[in-house]
A and B are shown apart, each in its own frame.
Chain A
Amino acid sequence: MSSPHLKPPVGPEDHIQGGAGAEITLVEYGDFECPYCGAAYPILKRVQRRLGKKLRFVFRQFPIAESHPHAESAAEASESVAAQGGPKAFWRMHDQLFENQRALQYDDLARYAAKAGVKGDVVLNDLDEGRYRELVRESFMSGARSGVNGTPTLFIDGIRYDGPRDEEALVAALTLVEGRPVSA
Chain B
Amino acid sequence: MHSTPLPPGIPAPAFTLPAGPGRQVSLADSRGRPVVLAFYPADWSPVCGNQLTLYSALTAEWDRLGAEMIGISVDGPWCHSAYGEARNLKVTLLADFEPKGAVSRAYGVYDQSKGTSQRALFVIDSDGIIRWSYLSPAEVNPGADGILEALEQLAQPEAAAARTAR
- Where the two chains meet, the residues of A that have a C-beta atom closer than 8 Å to any C-beta of B are 1, 4, 64-67, 140-141, 144-150, 162
B52 to A, closest residue via Cβ: A66
Chain A binding surface, main DSSP class: loop
Q: Is the CB of A64 within 8 A of B140?
A: no
For residue B159, which residues in chain A have a CB less than 8 angstroms away from its CB?
none
Nearest CB of chain B from residue A15's CB, rounded to whole Å? 21
Checking A64, A66, A67, A149 against B142 with a beta-carbon cut-off of 8 angstroms, the contacting residue is: A149
In the complex with contacts A1-B134, A144-B58, A144-B148, A149-B53 CB distance below 8 A: no
In the complex with contacts A66-B87, A144-B143, A162-B140, A149-B51 CB distance below 8 A: yes
What are 11 residue pairs bridging A and B, where the CB atoms are less than 8 Å apart in the complex? A1-B134, A65-B57, A140-B57, A144-B54, A144-B61, A144-B143, A144-B144, A144-B145, A145-B149, A148-B143, A149-B143
For residue B51, which residues in chain A have a CB less than 8 angstroms away from its CB?
149
For residue A64, which residues in chain B have a CB less than 8 angstroms away from its CB?
53-54, 57
Bound CA–CA A144/B56 (angstroms)? 12
Checking B88, B90, B141, B148 against A145 with a beta-carbon cut-off of 8 angstroms, the contacting residue is: B148
In the complex with contacts A66-B88, A144-B144, A144-B145, A149-B134 CB distance below 8 A: no
For residue B25, which residues in chain A have a CB less than 8 angstroms away from its CB?
none
Nearest CB of chain B from residue A66's CB, rounded to whole Å? 5
Bound CA–CA A4/B10 (angstroms)? 27
B143 to A, closest residue via Cβ: A149
Q: Is the CB of B145 within 8 A of A66?
A: no
Nearest CB of chain A from residue B128's CB, rounded to whole Å? 24
